[in-house]
C-alpha cells in the first residue's frame, strides 16, 4: 500500500513515480489484490469498523475503479 504521488495522478503509474515512498499494509476484508487502487483510512479511524479494540494501522474502505483528475489551472 502506497499513497499516490502527484505524478501518478498525471498518468505516470510507473515505478519512478513511487520512487522513495514507503510501503505499508492495511486490513482488507474487501479482497483487493496486488496492483489495485484502494481508499484507506489510518489511525484511530481505522479501528472504527471493529466492535472490539483491534490493533490495525490502516483499514481498506474502498476498491477504486476509476480516477478522474483535472489539474489545477
CB neighbours of residue 18 within 10 Å: 17
Whole-number percent of the chain with pLDDT over 70: 74
Report yes or no on 60 lying in a domain: yes
Most confident of 1-5, 23-27, 55-59: 55-59
Parent domain of 29: 6-64
By the 8 A CB rule, do 40 and 71 touch?
Answer: no
Domain count within the chain: 1
d(CA 1, CA 40): 9
What whole-number percentage of the chain has pLDDT above 90?
A: 18
Residue 70 lies in a domain: no
Amino acid at each position: 500500500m502506497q499513497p499516490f504521488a502527484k505524478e501518478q495522478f498525471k498518468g505516470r503509474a510507473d515505478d519512478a513515480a513511487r520512487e522513495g515512498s514507503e510501503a505499508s499494509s492495511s486490513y482488507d476484508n474487501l479482497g483487493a489484490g496486488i496492483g489495485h487502487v484502494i481508499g484507506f483510512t489510518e489511525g484511530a479511524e481505522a479501528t472504527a469498523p471493529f466492535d472490539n479494540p483491534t490493533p490495525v494501522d490502516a483499514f481498506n474502505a474502498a476498491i477504486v475503479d476509476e480516477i478522474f483528475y483535472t489539474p489545477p489551472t
